[in-house]
Structure 1
Amino acid sequence: MKRLILLYLLILGICPATIAQTIVSGIVDHAQKQGPLKGAIVKTNTGQATTTDADGKYSLTVPATATYIVISHIGFVPDTIAIEQGQQRVTYFTQLQPQQHILKEVEVQGYETNRPLLQTAGAISIIDSDVIQRSDESSLVRAVNTVPGVKMDERAPASYRLSIRGSTLRSPYGIRNVKLYFNGIPLTEANGTTALNLLDAASIGSIEILKGPTASVYGAGTGGTVLLEPKRSKLGAEAGAGISIGSYGLRKYTANVSTGSAKSNVLVQYAHQQYDGYRQQSALDRKVLLVSPEFYVSDKQTITSHIIYSDLYYELPGGITKEQYDAVPRQARGGEFGSVKQNASMNQESINIGLKQDYSFTDNWSNSTAIYTLHRFRYHPFNTDYERNANQEFGLRSSFAYTTTIGSIAAKYTFGGEFQRGFEAARTYDNNSGLVGALRTDDEVTAKAGFVFAQAELELPADFILTTALSLNDTQYKITRLAQSPTINYTKDFEAVLSPRVALLKKLTDKVSAHASISAGFSPPTEEEILTSDGALNEDLQAEKGTNYELGVRGYMLQNKLSFDVVGFNFRLNETIVSRQDASSVAVFRNVGATSQKGIETALNYTIVDAPEDGLSLFKVWGSYTYSHFRFKKYSIFKASEQKEIDLSGNELTGVAPHTATAGIDAATNLGLYFTATINYVDALPLNDENTVYADSYLVVGAKLGYRRTIADKLELNIFAGVDNLTNQKYSLGNDLNAFGGRYYQPAPDRNYFGGLALNYKIK
């Protein structure tokens, strides 16, 4: 009966359509040049077609069944126009945008979906090579700090800290509670720490930042996950070299050889960076060799690998008080355990080797398996001791993917696991003015971390995509204290924890999507939080556990010129780990109950001009803003001076600025000139849990002007110069939170300049 009714209605619609016709006419213009566009194709959904004349005009007689026309032209974005029904004649004026504005579907690796960003449920930010190159590429800090909800500090050159939607309370130094991968291979070690400083910024091609708990696919963690991809060579063979110089003794030399073909892509890059330092005891000397080959063995098999050798030395000026900061910000920590007197510094030599294979068994089944090994030697005279460590580690990650259809629903199932084992021989000594003194501790530490995971993606009707995932995480530390008599064996095993994630995405249009998710996170303490730098064992420390609720919308508007990404989240963290310094500046860690972390993250990018054939070939403005309402819950400390417990519940979370914003412009001409400018604002933030001391807000401006040109199709020349901290702001980048004696401040450089030259020669 239903089929008969549908047939009847269809006949009713067809009969008058055989009689009625509409004349569709109009003019098609070039959207940028504001002139007629000759030769544009005008075609209806019923098959009638014509082209525009020299004046951009067209006229077409169409049947009543025609509901829309498509106007297209080589090199331009097609436009679809709905035909007004019931009219004998309609006229339209159309402007076609040049092809450069077509939305480039950015495919992301996040959550192992390998989908376009508009089809990925989750707060993901992408940093491409253009963003990294906005500065002198001596550091990743400037690029990472353009991302909303993310903060990267540099307490001293190459002494990085990274936080995603949170404070750096757990990270008085180093990177913790954030999982990093390089080329799909774990960079974060089994002990929970990441030596990001072994990489050179110029060797990184792109960065994906996944915010909030991502434990369902990437293992334990409540902070987030960062996916780093190495640079890839272009087609053909090239060789290049570059030099950069700058204020306070900055020198950087790079050399690279690359080759790209249908069968392989190989990059070999060497970078040597030196810096005398803005402050006392803040010099840097880093050598990095990256070998990154990728082989396309067949349509089914790709093999990728990397070798990273790093020889790193950097000095640690230490925190200073407000009085010292105001008087002489360039000074290092002084006193009995002063940084200069004790030669506080880091000597680190390491090699990281990784190998990964992607293989498709069938059209439905595929696998990605990666293995790696790490060897590192570290000599570290600190203000109060001298540390010597040797690390050996290996790890494995493997995941399988199966795609199928369930009825009319497309589905993808992913499952796999990851295992890491690290061994460290850790010894501490007295520091006698930078020389090794008497042995204090002699420990052997074995760290094991692993998880298994499963994930299902379902493409539901009405353009919904549902993702459900679950992982089981386990972490264990075994510490043998050889210097004790008798020998002490200590084991800390954190119980296996299930971490689920559920996410739903709705495609509102072809250019806009909304997403929501609920995820749980589990973050065990790192080895350095269990075994502190003074050799003490922190046996009572427990893992953090939290739940994150998230809602966001992203998309493109105005012929894809405007992109936007807005996310709101509510993260509830239990057993929050914080640190405080004792009298000897050793960080002591403890669980403090809970925190409530709510925020809004926004990112906008508007391309005003994108016309390679014009004098001004590119002009775009961009910006990001983060609002953070982070508070302690159920937190109290014992104040010795008053001999009583002080309730800190409701206080602002230490180290978190309520408001941060970044904005900038990118411009280029077809003659080769280019210009970038970046403004970064950070609101005042508390430096201690009591909220009695705050760091001042600051506004920092940086700019870069360059000239890039290809000579005789073989040699590319790039000359550039720039300035950082143009406004000459006094600010601290990487405050020491809850520091003993009020030594909170790590002053950043004042106004400083840089310049450089890069040559790239196409061999074939």
Structure 2
Amino acid sequence: MPLSHHFVLKRLNAALLLALAGAAHAQTLQEVVVSASRQEQKSFDAPASIQAVGQDVIEAAGPRVNLSESLNRVPGITVLNRQNYAQDLQLSIRGSGARSPFGIRGARLIVDGIPATMPDGQGQASTISLPSAQRIEVLRGPLAQLYGNSAGGVVQVVTADGPATPEARVSIDAGSDALRRYGLQLAGQSGSLNYVIDHSDFSTDGWRANSAAKRKHTNAKLRWEANDQTRVTLVANVFDQPVSGDPLGLTREQAQANPRQVATPSTLYRAGKEVSQEQLGLVADHRIDAQSELTARVYAGQRTLDNRLSVPLSAQTSATSAGGAVHLDRHYDGTGLRYARRIPVGQGQLSLSAGVDLERMREHRLGYINNLGVLGALKRDEDDSVESTGLYTQADWAINEDWSAVAGLRANRVQFKVEDHYIRAGNPDDSGRADFRATNPVIGLTRHLGADTNVYVNVGRGFETPTQTEIAYTANGSGPNLNLKAARSTHAELGVKTKLGESQRLDLAVFHIATRDEIVVATSVGGRTVYTNAGKTRRSGIELAHSAQWTPEWRSHLAFSTLDARFDQAFTSGGAKVASGNRIPGVMNRSLFGELVWQPKALAGFSAALELVHRGSMVVDDINSDRTAAATLFNLRLGWEQKIGSWRLRETLRVDNLTDKATIGSVIANDANKRFFEPAPGRQWSAGVVASYAF
């Protein structure tokens, strides 16, 4: 066994002995999820690696601004807060998506049944409203491939329903670096209409220079029970981020000298972005009879973005350059239809489902000279579009008390189209098309060893197309790189879920992923990143989650992951030879989250928790020229709750990184300027108050 694995197991044993494991409440043992079968079921019964965090955990984990606050307690997923609201979080599931320089890549994001991932596979986590979320699910493994392109995993967010008694909620959060979040929520039930309307206003000065951000976010869910058979849900989301500076990465020397500084181009070119998005979705559920149901969804949205990049002026003026400032006007829409039926078969029951997903994205992209923060001449003018069609079917067969099986098939087609309107001397017409197709099967088998233990094995195929951003440039000349291939992968996992008595649950999974035509960075020079296919890669690892209610006053939760992600074939990146066996950059090789929670009976409404967060190392580029150091951090949180008449009050206090340890929070893989490192803050505090009034 490699030395690093001995190190991790030693830490794991120590954590277990100290009970530094923490849990989302005892309800974790029976949490409800929908991602595995698209129908509500207990996560323990789902034949896949899937965990969820509930509303109580989301509220206790921080000011409810970023997914990174609460998802560190889920094994198999890494969500890194880059301290950079212009580039969003770095989210990776089993190593998929780690190369993304911005946005979410390689995972499907779904909010209340509506995709938050575009048909090309690129998504944004910033538009997710956490103050109104009831739970967040994370599905890993082969079953995620049934969600289509770039589904290395699925993150699904479900907005809470309004309570039976209408209530108003006001929340205030404050923290380090002038962090402020103000929230107002109205929720309740009025006849057959259930409603949740949530608004929040967030701002921060940022931990690093040029990293200030402001956001306004409104999320609404209206659910109408038309009758006993039909339910219609309307979801509306409005997001506005008028300020978000981009501090860029730092070289190792810069990060060690002053981790809060920025590279000169960040301020010289006023790097940052302004973005707004509006979206409306409608989901209708109709029960045809006792055994069958039909679900339909339709949605549409628009997104505008102005992004100032730190591209040197000398590189912007070339004939084929797209400039250093981007204006994007995007419109997107989609529809989906799913039919499900349950059929008695032998001793068990067969649940069949079939559906179609149609997604479309159209955007007008303009590029300008960024003349030290001032908009200059036009350098790019094009219309881009991506259309995706997915047909899928899934069968879940409860064969008998001892066995169950799952099988699925998804056929996908993703079409890219570029219409170039910027045609000049030295910059020809770069219009073109690309078409990607894949048919991906999944099959699994579960052995039920009594009511308290399930053992499952799943195998499936997946694919990942390049995104619109990744096909934007070619190595020589202008125009899109329409010769990029889609990455094809084979996923296999073996897992066990067991209840250790009434108050403990253990989930363990072992997996292996083999990929060919992995999409990687070929060159990154002068603000232009060109991608290529790298041949074969492999990812394998172990994931463990343990939750326990030791006594009425003490509970714990543990999430542990290892991930060995490597290139299986040599290739050339940026003119350098990448050896077979090199680690894939941006992928964390291990992680550990432990939490011990105390809720004393003598202090009703009070809770205290100590968290342990261990992060392994990440290499910074394909040639593995440098890497981050592993780090172990401790966090402390305190909470109080009171009920006074119709009022319910909740106060929280958090201190993250108690020991004020200097660490690197994330890396920018393959940065041409060797500014790979994005430092993480030292000791940080946050406090919040929520006041709810029931009418």
Same fold (TM over 0.5): yes
After superposition, where does 1:29-48 map in structure 2 within 5 Å?
A: none
Kindly indicate whether residue 650 of structure 2 is the aligned counterpart of residue 718 of structure 1.
yes
Structure 2 distance, partners of 1:370, 1:669, is 46
Structure 1 distance, partners of 2:656, 2:394, is 44
State the superposition RMSD in angstroms.
Answer: 2.0
1:587 deviation in Å?
2.6
Q: What percent identity do the matched residue pairs reach?
A: 25
Q: Partner of 2:69: helix, strand, or coil?
A: helix
Partner of 2:661: 729
Structure 2 distance, partners of 1:102, 1:631, is 34
Greater CA deviation, 560-569 or 738-747? Answer: 738-747
State the TM-score, normalizing by the size of structure 2.
Answer: 0.90
Is the Cα–Cα contact under 8 Å of residues 120 and 465 in structure 2 kept in the other structure? no
Partner of 2:293: 366
Pair 1:222–1:375, CA change in 2 (3 A): closer
Query: Structure 2: which amino acid aligns with 1:324?
Result: Q
Structure 1 distance, partners of 2:523, 2:217, is 33
Structure 1 distance, partners of 2:560, 2:521, is 28
After superposition, where does 1:339-488 map in structure 2 within 5 Å?
A: 339-384=266-311, 385-485=324-424, 487-488=429-430
Is the Cα–Cα contact under 8 Å of residues 474 and 481 in structure 2 kept in the other structure? no
1:651 deviation in Å?
1.3
1:552 deviation in Å?
0.2
1:642-699: per-residue Cα shift (whole Å, max 9, x none)? xxx6351011222223221110122324521122232111112211211220111111
Is the Cα–Cα contact under 8 Å of residues 500 and 520 in structure 1 kept in the other structure? yes
Pair 1:521–1:103, CA change in 2 (3 A): closer
Structure 2 distance, partners of 1:638, 1:295, is 54
After superposition, where does 1:624-663 map in structure 2 within 5 Å?
A: 624-637=559-572, 640=575, 646-663=577-594
Kindly indicate whether residue 180 of structure 2 is the aligned counterpart of residue 245 of structure 1.
no
Partner of 1:509: 450
1:131 deviation in Å?
2.1
Pair 1:662–1:288, CA change in 2 (3 A): same
Structure 2 distance, partners of 1:674, 1:555, is 28
1:230 deviation in Å?
1.0
Kindly indicate whether residue 261 of structure 2 is the aligned counterpart of residue 331 of structure 1.
yes
Pair 1:701–1:138, CA change in 2 (3 A): farther
Greater RCO (CA < 8 Å, at least 6 residues apart): 2
Is the Cα–Cα contact under 8 Å of residues 167 and 653 in structure 1 kept in the other structure? no
Partner of 1:693: 626
Is the Cα–Cα contact under 8 Å of residues 215 and 522 in structure 1 kept in the other structure? no
Is the Cα–Cα contact under 8 Å of residues 654 and 686 in structure 2 kept in the other structure? yes
Pair 1:101–1:192, CA change in 2 (3 A): closer
Q: Partner of 1:530: helix, strand, or coil?
A: coil
Q: Partner of 1:323: helix, strand, or coil?
A: helix
Is the Cα–Cα contact under 8 Å of residues 213 and 222 in structure 1 kept in the other structure? no
Candidates 169, 175, 199, aligned match of 2:128 = 199
Is the Cα–Cα contact under 8 Å of residues 548 and 572 in structure 1 kept in the other structure? yes
Partner of 2:152: 223
Is the Cα–Cα contact under 8 Å of residues 580 and 737 in structure 1 kept in the other structure? no
Structure 1 distance, partners of 2:570, 2:189, is 56
1:502-530: per-residue Cα shift (whole Å, max 9, x none)? 01112111121111110100111111111
Q: Partner of 2:439: helix, strand, or coil?
A: strand
Partner of 2:110: 181
Partner of 1:141: 68
Structure 2 distance, partners of 1:638, 1:207, is 37
1:114 deviation in Å?
3.0
Partner of 2:468: 527
Higher Cα Rg: structure 1 or 2?
1
Is the Cα–Cα contact under 8 Å of residues 332 and 361 in structure 2 kept in the other structure? yes
Kindly indicate whether residue 491 of structure 2 is the aligned counterpart of residue 548 of structure 1.
yes
Query: Structure 1: which amino acid aligns with 2:616?
Result: D
Query: Structure 1: which amino acid aligns with 2:598?
Result: A
Partner of 1:52: none
Query: Structure 2: which amino acid aligns with 1:761?
Result: Y
Pair 1:365–1:678, CA change in 2 (3 A): same
1:186 deviation in Å?
1.2
Is the Cα–Cα contact under 8 Å of residues 504 and 517 in structure 1 kept in the other structure? yes
Structure 1 distance, partners of 2:459, 2:474, is 37
Is the Cα–Cα contact under 8 Å of residues 374 and 393 in structure 1 kept in the other structure? yes
Pair 1:101–1:577, CA change in 2 (3 A): closer
1:155 deviation in Å?
2.1
Kindly indicate whether residue 91 of structure 2 is the aligned counterpart of residue 156 of structure 1.
no
Kindly indicate whether residue 484 of structure 2 is the aligned counterpart of residue 538 of structure 1.
no
1:105-127: per-residue Cα shift (whole Å, max 9, x none)? 63534232433223221111212
State the TM-score, normalizing by the size of structure 1.
Answer: 0.82
Is the Cα–Cα contact under 8 Å of residues 185 and 397 in structure 1 kept in the other structure? no
1:719 deviation in Å?
1.9
Q: Partner of 1:331: helix, strand, or coil?
A: coil
Structure 2 distance, partners of 1:463, 1:116, is 18
1:196 deviation in Å?
1.4
Is the Cα–Cα contact under 8 Å of residues 173 and 686 in structure 2 kept in the other structure? yes
Q: Partner of 1:325: helix, strand, or coil?
A: helix
Structure 2 distance, partners of 1:597, 1:726, is 33
Is the Cα–Cα contact under 8 Å of residues 429 and 438 in structure 1 kept in the other structure? yes
Is the Cα–Cα contact under 8 Å of residues 172 and 579 in structure 1 kept in the other structure? no
Partner of 1:130: 56
Structure 1 distance, partners of 2:167, 2:685, is 30
Structure 1 distance, partners of 2:471, 2:78, is 25
Q: Partner of 1:339: helix, strand, or coil?
A: helix
Structure 2 distance, partners of 1:114, 1:217, is 17
Structure 1 distance, partners of 2:358, 2:618, is 38
Partner of 1:578: 520
Structure 2 distance, partners of 1:740, 1:221, is 26
Pair 1:684–1:109, CA change in 2 (3 A): closer
Is the Cα–Cα contact under 8 Å of residues 339 and 355 in structure 2 kept in the other structure? yes
Structure 1 distance, partners of 2:473, 2:640, is 50
Kindly indicate whether residue 239 of structure 2 is the aligned counterpart of residue 310 of structure 1.
yes
Q: Partner of 1:685: helix, strand, or coil?
A: coil
After superposition, where does 1:213-292 map in structure 2 within 5 Å?
A: 213-214=142-143, 216-260=145-189, 263-292=192-221
Greater CA deviation, 483-492 or 585-594? Answer: 483-492
Structure 2 distance, partners of 1:694, 1:638, is 17
Is the Cα–Cα contact under 8 Å of residues 580 and 739 in structure 1 kept in the other structure? no
Kindly indicate whether residue 224 of structure 2 is the aligned counterpart of residue 295 of structure 1.
yes
Pair 1:630–1:291, CA change in 2 (3 A): same
Kindly indicate whether residue 508 of structure 2 is the aligned counterpart of residue 566 of structure 1.
yes
Kindly indicate whether residue 440 of structure 2 is the aligned counterpart of residue 499 of structure 1.
yes
Structure 2 distance, partners of 1:383, 1:709, is 50
Candidates 540, 554, 563, aligned match of 1:619 = 554
1:411 deviation in Å?
0.9
1:157 deviation in Å?
3.9
Q: Partner of 2:669: helix, strand, or coil?
A: coil
Q: Partner of 1:340: helix, strand, or coil?
A: helix
Partner of 1:32: none
1:200 deviation in Å?
3.1
Structure 1 distance, partners of 2:551, 2:396, is 38
Structure 2 distance, partners of 1:211, 1:422, is 26
1:170 deviation in Å?
3.3
Is the Cα–Cα contact under 8 Å of residues 216 and 453 in structure 1 kept in the other structure? no
Q: Partner of 2:131: helix, strand, or coil?
A: helix
Q: Which runs of 5+ in 1 are unaligned?
A: 1-99, 611-617
Pair 1:244–1:215, CA change in 2 (3 A): closer
1:639 deviation in Å?
6.8
